[in-house]
Amino acid sequence: MTVLPLVFDAPRRTKPPRHLADLTRDEARAAVTELGQPAFRADQLARHFYAGVTDPALMTDLPAASRDDLTAALLPGLLTPVRHQSADGGRTRKTLWRLHDGALVESVLMRYPERATVCISSQAGCGMACPFCATGQSGLTRNLSAAEIIGQAVAAAAAMANGEIPGGPGRLSNVVFMGMGEPLANYARVRKTLDALLTPAPHGLGLAQRSVTVSTVGVVPAIRKLTEEGLNVTLAVSLHAPDDELRDTLVPINTRWNVAEVLGAADDFARRTGRRYSIEYALIRDINDQPFRADLLGKLLSKRLAHVNLIPLNPTPGSKWDASPLPAQREFVARLRAAGVPTTVRDTRGSDIDGACGQLAAADQVEGIPSIAVPVPETDQWPRPEARPELARDEEDGVLQTLGGESDQ
């Protein structure tokens, strides 16, 4: 298995076309007036976009003579479905999307009896280089724009509303940023996506804050920035090891921000929100599933506002590792619960279509659009939090910007 470097800087690529979802409401209204239309047309376009309407002919509240021009200018097609794959009797559907530049990403829509959840991607590929994760081993192609991220959720909401998933028409209730990419390495666009997910219709999807989960391998400055933003979304930390020695290997970002620093930032988030954060822990046979590591994890978390999600490792092509056997899983759960740590074993969906946690890789590479990895920045460019925690590199924009700052996309 090739060992990839950590990659924080998204490679420069051609930016997607301008899209309404990348603009503030005022910017959208200004863009519409530049096209010679009254400003309220922007609100009409937003209503159609978030309702999943893609055919201009169905936008009957827009003047027939202007529909094509308005949609071409502000609602360009950014996500083209390449294929759908279904599992679990059709209740799990993975979609492979082609972006404007040929890059590929995946999202997974899962319908349960009481809810419907979509797992969305925030980057094409991933630069975090976790060796047991197919996405991490694919390398980083680029950051997604806010509109490209939002579009995955909008498509899932439309699929539910149109009854495309067995069970009849329904409503998208949950969004998890657990698809391809490290969400907090694309902070500004993920933050803009959160606004769109939480804003009531017609200018957003109107989801509850608690129904949106943002996952991270531990980009501590961005966790702290998210805390300062004051959102009550759910935070999920992909820990996968309780000790720095092992986590340095399994989750290479640990060499930048160690276990204590990551949990400290998550604790601050929990104190501000009053809500538990989730610890994601992939159980890997003979690697991180030993009883002593369960005890160490229990000791770390017993007095924290945290809940552990154990995930039996999902198989990925070429991986030398596999899932912990059931007896080891049961003992790990028992030891954590004995330490007073709330623990569940995740219901893995879509593993037979490579749609489960750690399996998304968009394996169908477009010719000439390979996944690439660029060298990790020097330490003074991506400092540890005690130095300059507010700064992160964003090579896609070609600037050094503050986390949460607006991009020019």
The residue-averaged pLDDT of 35-46 equals: 97
pLDDT single digits (tens) 195-205: 999 999 989 99
Q: Do 64 and 98 reside in the same domain of the chain?
A: no
pTM of the model: 0.86
Task: Please check the confidence at residue 302 and state whether its pLDDT lies above 90.
Answer: yes
320 falls in which pLDDT band (50, 70, 90)?
confident
Residue 251 lies in a domain: yes
Tell me, what's the pLDDT at 362? 45
Lowest mean pLDDT segment, chosen from 184-198, 343-357, 384-398: 384-398
Q: Do 160 and 133 reside in the same domain of the chain?
A: yes
pLDDT single digits (tens) 175-233: 999 999 999 999 999 999 999 999 999 899 999 999 999 999 999 999 999 999 999 99
Cβ atoms 166, 112 nearer than 8 A? no
Residue 285 lies in a domain: yes
Based on the residue annotation, tell me whether 386 is a catalytic residue of this protein: no
Q: Do 163 and 136 reside in the same domain of the chain?
A: yes
Q: Is 238 annotated as a binding residue?
A: yes
Amino acid making up residue 170: G
Determine which one of 106, 148, 280, 396 is catalytic. Answer: 106
- Would you state the structure tokens that stand for residue 258, as one six-digit string? 């160690």
CATH number, domain of 172, equals: 3.20.20.70
What's the number of domains the chain is made of? 2
Q: Is 133 annotated as a binding residue?
A: yes
Tell me, what's the pLDDT at 409? 38
Task: Please check the confidence at residue 79 and state whether its pLDDT lies above 50.
Answer: yes
Residue 395 lies in a domain: no
Q: Do 203 and 314 reside in the same domain of the chain?
A: yes
Task: Please check the confidence at residue 408 and state whether its pLDDT lies above 80.
Answer: no
| Share of residues in the chain with pLDDT > 90 (%) | 75
Residue 381 lies in a domain: no
Domain range enclosing 224: 77-372
Residue 324 lies in a domain: yes
Tell me, what's the pLDDT at 348? 65
Residue 407 lies in a domain: no
Based on the residue annotation, tell me whether 357 is a catalytic residue of this protein: yes
Residue 403 lies in a domain: no
Tell me, what's the pLDDT at 2? 60
Lowest mean pLDDT segment, chosen from 4-18, 104-118, 377-391: 377-391
Q: Is 232 annotated as a binding residue?
A: no
- Would you state the structure tokens that stand for residue 130, as one six-digit string? 């976790």
Determine which one of 148, 357, 395, 396 is catalytic. Answer: 357
Q: Is 130 annotated as a binding residue?
A: yes
Cβ atoms 264, 227 nearer than 8 A? no
